Structure 1
Amino acid sequence: MHFTSEQHLDDGVLARDFRLGEIPGTLWTPRSVPAPLILMAHNNGLPRTEPRLVARARHFAVRGYAVAAIDTPGCGERPRSAADDRARAELRRAMQAGEPVDEIFESLVGPLVERAVPEWQTALNALLALPEIDGPVGYSGWTAVGIRLAAAEPRIAAACFFAGGFVPRAQREEARQVTVPLLVLLQWDDEGNPRERALDLYDAFGTKQKTLHANLGGHTGTPWFELEDTTRFFDRHLK
């Protein structure tokens, strides 16, 4: 891991960009270290510099967590294939037309999960070797990647998922293997994620410690106060 830049922010957080092979990422650390780590995975297609993600990362860092985000294949600084671009365009067209999207979604997101999770594990190995990070590890963000990580990676101690109705079939099966404490945030009127599917997925999670927070509003309308509740969730399980 090579740090390529650093910025001391006015809230006391240190933000550093890094590269791990071809993987670009950002690490935010609090004033007091070593600190427990939260992996923050954005929804596919969004860069790690997306303002909502950066705001969440800084929020957690101010409250004593190290937070890391990477650009997974086809996201942010990473090149996209022409096939992925075509699949994204077809997915948007089908959703807007009200047509079935399951198979398009499977062909796009399934392979992305397969590629992204090993990269997250590589990043986790490098991050935990840093002196300023001292587990345990939490996860926050993209549900499909989070299910695979939480099921396969014993170092994940707690997870917060932004509920998605469209999750690849493989991850729907793996949801039963998720046994860590879980907080799920559901937008009741999410235009891109069917509510009943999201509720069925929540029911499938194997953990006995799971909480669902549902709020009115569309996909990007998660209330800011949920960050405070998510912080308290991580405080209970990571500190």
Structure 2
Amino acid sequence: MRFTSEQRLDDGIIEREFTLGEIPGTLWTPGSAGSATPVPLILMAHNNGLPKAQPRLVARARQTAAYGYAVATIDAAGCGDRPRSAADEQARADLRRAMRAGEPVDEIFESFIGPLVEKAVPDWRSTLDALLALPEIGGPVGYSGWTAVGIHLAAVEPRIAAAGFFAGGYVPRAQREEARQVTVPLLFLLQWDDEGNPRQRALDLFDAFGSTEKTLHANLGGHVGTPWFEVADGGRFYDRHLK
């Protein structure tokens, strides 16, 4: 892991850009974090290929870091500015065309979201290895964000101790089955009127999780309308399980 920039923000959070091989990422840490006071880590994944600098993600990461966590995000394979295959680009074009025409889109989603998840999780695990080697990060580890990647990561990565998932965003069939293997404490956020995520499918997914401690928060509004107070509720959730 190589840090390429560092700045102390107005709220005292330290923001560092890094690269790990071909993986670009950002790490936010509280100003108090250090080898004498290592802090827990939260991996914060963005949805369906959005860049790590997406403003809503950055704002959520900074607020979470202010609660006393190291927060990291990356542009995993096929996400952000990283190269996409011709097949991925064609699937995205097909998706835009189908949505404009009001046609079914499940099979198109499957054609690129499933492979994107499979490629992204190894990048997240490599990043986790490098982050836990830093003296200012002591674990345990939480996950927050994109549900499809989070399900696969939580199912295969034993270092994930708690997870917060956003129900918006397509979850491939493989991850819907894999949800039964997710047993860590879970906070599941659902926008009741999400125009891109059928409500019943999200409720069925919540039922499928194998966790014995799982909480569903449902709020009125569309895909990007998650209330800001959910960040504070998320902080309390991670406090219970990571501190």
State the TM bucket, normalised to the shorter chain.
over 0.9
Write the letter of the residue equivalent to 2:229: F
Listed one character per residue, the Cα deviations across residues 56-101 of structure 1 (whole Å, up to 9, x for unaligned) are 0100111100000000122223122232122112112222322111
Equivalence map 1:204-219=2 (5 Å):
204-219=208-223
Mapped partners of 2:134, 2:157: distance in 1: 19
1:28 maps to 2:28: yes
How many pairs does the alignment contain?
A: 239
Correspondence for 2:107: 103
SS of the residue corresponding to residue 16 of structure 2 reads strand
Q: Are 2:9 and 2:15, in contact at CA under 8 Å, matched by a contact in 1?
A: yes
1:19 and 2:19 matched: yes
In structure 2, how many angstroms separate the alpha carbons of the residues matched to 1:118 and 1:226?
29
1:42 paired residue among 43, 46, 50: 46
- Aligned-partner SS, 2:193: coil
State the distance in 1 between where 2:78 and 2:207 align.
31
Any gaps of 5 or more consecutive residues in structure 1? none
Matched, 1:80 2:84: yes
Question: 1:188–1:215: 8 Å Cα contact kept in structure 2?
Answer: yes
The one-letter amino acid of 2:11's match is D
1:166 matched to 2:144: no
Tell me the SS of whatever aligns to 1:68. strand
Instruction: Decide whether the 8 Å contact of 2:151 with 2:182 is kept in 1.
Output: yes
The Cα shift of 1:165 comes to 6.3
Match of 1:137 in 2: 141
Give the distance between the partners of 1:181 and 1:28, measured in 2 at CA.
24
Q: Is the 8 A contact 1:181 1:209 kept in 2?
A: yes
Counterparts of 2:102 and 2:171, CA distance in 1:
18
Range with greater deviation from structure 2 (86-95 or 132-141):
86-95
TM-score, normalising length from structure 1?
Answer: 0.98
Corresponding residue for residue 179 of structure 1: 183
Please tell me whether residue 220 in structure 1 is matched to residue 220 in structure 2: no
Alpha-carbon RMSD: 1.0
Structure 1 contact 166–194 (Cα < 8 Å) conserved:
no
Look up the match of 1:128. 132
Consecutive unaligned residues in structure 2, runs of 5 or more: none
Rounded to whole Å, the distance in 2 between the matches of 1:175 and 1:43 is: 18
Give the alignment's TM-score, normalised by structure 2: 0.96
**How many Å separate the matches in 2 of 1:195 and 1:133?**
37
| Aligned amino acid, residue 22 of structure 2 | E
Q: 1:148 aligns with which of 135, 149, 152?
A: 152
Look up the SS of the partner of 2:6 in the other structure: strand
- The equivalent of 2:4 in structure 1 is 4
How has the CA–CA distance of structure 1 residues 132 and 165 changed in structure 2, closer, same or farther, with 3 Å as cutoff? closer
